[in-house]
């Protein structure tokens, strides 16, 4: 039986819809008041696991799920040992360096050496500033990263940006884009190679659902 790891959060509802087009109906997760963390799809051919987005690749890497849907930002940050199968073309956003709008900085290289940069994307932020040969202190945060420059704890932040509304409301300005992110289909490498339980047919249908879709 195929098990699919589904991400809680912003990618959740669209993930359910895409899987439905591929013949796996987990719409029961969308029922009002539902607290289920696992369920069979309506055809009985697959099981869905509802997990935190950051945990999707963990379940796939360790074989508890054969398929998963997760943002490229999570894959880029964590570098899990999974097969990246397809760009599903939804959930578009980007990882950016941002500063206070009145800071006067025009680009990331204008930041002073050894300044603090707050982020939940510690590895991506560190790699980026290393590529600039700019020594900074990465301050790891799990949320409300925008408060870094506001409180003076950090000179800049590295965070995901979708519409830009949160930055604007907190008087922050983007300086650089590190990379773009969309929802990706991932698979357990061995299960993918062996095509267990007709995995390739489901993958093909999910790929078809992404054709012509813009992030």
Query: Rounded to whole angstroms, how far apart are CA atoms 73 and 160?
Result: 8
pLDDT score at 211? 62
Same domain, 6 and 87: yes
> What pTM does this model have?
0.91
Same domain, 35 and 116: no
Same domain, 174 and 198: no
pLDDT score at 212? 47
Q: What is the mean pLDDT of residues 31-56?
A: 91
Residue at 74 is within a domain: yes
Residue range of the domain that includes 31: 2-91+182-210
Query: Rounded to whole angstroms, how far apart are CA atoms 129 and 119?
Result: 12
Query: Rounded to whole angstroms, how far apart are CA atoms 29 and 92?
Result: 23
Query: Rounded to whole angstroms, how far apart are CA atoms 10 and 130?
Result: 30
Question: How confident is the prediction for the chain on average, in pLDDT?
Answer: 93
**90 — pLDDT class (breaks 50, 70, 90):** very high
Same domain, 87 and 33: yes
Same domain, 78 and 129: no
Domain count, the chain: 2
How many CA atoms are closer than 13 Å to the CA of 214, on its beta-carbon side? 0
Residue at 47 is within a domain: yes
pLDDT score at 213? 47
Same domain, 133 and 32: no
Residue at 20 is within a domain: yes
CATH of the domain at 128: 3.40.190.10
Of the chain, the percentage scoring pLDDT greater than 70 comes to 98
Residue at 215 is within a domain: no
* Closest C-alpha to 78, from 97, 62, 52, 54: 54
Same domain, 194 and 164: no
**215 — pLDDT class (breaks 50, 70, 90):** very low
**143 — pLDDT class (breaks 50, 70, 90):** confident
The string of pLDDT tens digits covering residues 15-25 is 999 999 989 99
Same domain, 11 and 62: yes
């Amino acid at each position: 039986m195929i098990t699919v790891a589904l991400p809680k959060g912003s990618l959740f509802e669209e993930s359910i819809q895409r899987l439905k087009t591929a013949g796996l109906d987990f719409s029961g997760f969308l029922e009002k008041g539902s607290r289920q963390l696992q369920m069979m799809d309506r055809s009985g051919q697959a099981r869905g696991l509802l997990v935190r987005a950051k945990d999707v690749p963990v379940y796939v890497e360790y074989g508890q799920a054969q398929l998963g849907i997760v943002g490229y930002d999570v894959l880029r940050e964590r570098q899990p040992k999974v097969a990246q199968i397809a760009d599903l073309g939804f959930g578009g956003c980007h990882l950016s360096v941002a500063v206070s709008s009145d800071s006067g900085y025009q680009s990331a290289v204008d930041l002073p050496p050894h300044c603090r940069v707050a982020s939940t994307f510690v590895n991506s932020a560190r790699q980026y500033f290393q590529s600039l040969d700019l020594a900074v202190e990465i301050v790891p945060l799990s949320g409300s990263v925008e408060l870094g420059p506001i409180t003076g704890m950090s000179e800049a932040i590295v965070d995901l940006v979708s519409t830009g509304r949160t930055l604007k409301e907190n008087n922050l300005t983007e300086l650089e884009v590190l990379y773009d992110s969309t929802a990706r289909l991932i698979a357990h490498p061995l299960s993918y190679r062996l095509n267990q339980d007709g995995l390739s047919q489901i993958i093909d249908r999910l790929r078809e659902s992404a054709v012509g879709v813009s992030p």
